[in-house]
A and B are shown apart, each in its own frame.
Chain A
Amino acid sequence: MKWALLSLMIAATAASDLLQSHAMKREGDVTAGARGLTRLLKLIAARRDLILSIALLAFSFFAFMALVQAQPLSFAVPASAGSFIVETILAKLVLKEHIGARRVAGTLLVLAGVILVAR
């Protein structure tokens, strides 16, 4: 059951992040203060892709809630990081991000860390 929840959560998270990254890059810089938050809320209200990304994230969040209730937080949180390997590949293929050797090496180190933490 925990692996099914984890798989569902990872698929929904990856789809959500791709949509958010694509949309936010196109909209330009958003600041950390109240003005940035206001602008962000207006963007969310105006863009269907951002609304869909939040719906996917909500789905992933409920799967996470069920996971975190039954498993230790120090397992549930790092195991959910498996999504960023899928997402890094999709970032290159779909978002056309340039992923150099250092970024690949760093991402693999993080993956190794996640595998150790999730054992």
Chain B
Amino acid sequence: MAAHARTLRTYLLLLLFVALRAFGNLALAWGTKRFPQTLSIHPAPYLQAMLDPFAALGIAMLIFSLFARMALFSVADLSFVLPVTAVGYVLAALLGKFFLAEPVSPERWLGTALIFAGAALVGSTPRNTTAGAENLK
């Protein structure tokens, strides 16, 4: 397969993973925060919390994000995937602020900017260093 097609596939899977995970986490947080009981080591409250429609939607999206991430591991290094997918944390901060009205301090905004810069830098490195030369970017 041509290198550019592999690169395109990698970024398509990245986009899919980041979107599913961020919106899945948002729905899960929304659902669990409405649940009155505190979650700890006991399994029963977890199962009850999962019956909330938002929590269930969040879990479904997170399961599909897991599949997207596994597919991503088939085309890119673990040490590439981890920092690059960190752009999802920027999206999480934005979603937390706008949908859950969570406070985001200037320090946190600076942190999310650093995460974004670091992810972009790692994104400029070869995505697969353990396969043959045809897999290199």
Structural contact, A114 and B40, CB atoms closer than 8 A: no
Given known pairs A30-B70, A61-B62, the reply for A73 and B79 (CB within 8 Å) is no
Given known pairs A65-B46, A77-B25, the reply for A103 and B82 (CB within 8 Å) is no
Structural contact, B13 and A88, CB atoms closer than 8 A: no
Structural contact, A36 and B79, CB atoms closer than 8 A: no
B111 touches which one: A57, A68, A116 (CB < 8 A)? A116
Within residues 8 to 41 of chain A, which ones have a CB less than 8 A from any CB in chain B?
A: 17-18, 20-21, 24-25, 27-32, 36-37, 40
Enumerate chain A residues within 8 angstroms of B116, measured Cβ to Cβ: 113
Given known pairs A21-B73, A73-B95, the reply for A66 and B122 (CB within 8 Å) is no
> Would you call the interface of chain B mostly helix, strand, loop, or mixed?
helix
Interface bracket on A: 35 or more
Smallest Cβ-Cβ distance to A69: which chain B residue: B32
Enumerate chain A residues within 8 angstroms of B100, measured Cβ to Cβ: 72-73
A72 to chain B, nearest CB (A): 5
B114 touches which one: A36, A40, A109 (CB < 8 A)? A109
Given known pairs A30-B70, A84-B83, the reply for A97 and B129 (CB within 8 Å) is yes
Binding site for A on B (CB under 8 A): 1, 6, 9, 12-13, 16, 25-26, 28-29, 32-33, 35, 38-40, 46, 49, 62, 66-71, 73-75, 77-83, 86, 88-89, 92-93, 95-97, 100, 102-104, 107-108, 110-126, 128-131
Q: A74-B93, A84-B86 are in contact. List 17 more A-B contacts (CB 8 A).
A: A21-B78, A25-B130, A29-B1, A31-B71, A77-B25, A77-B89, A84-B83, A102-B122, A102-B125, A106-B83, A106-B122, A106-B125, A107-B82, A109-B118, A110-B115, A116-B114, A119-B111
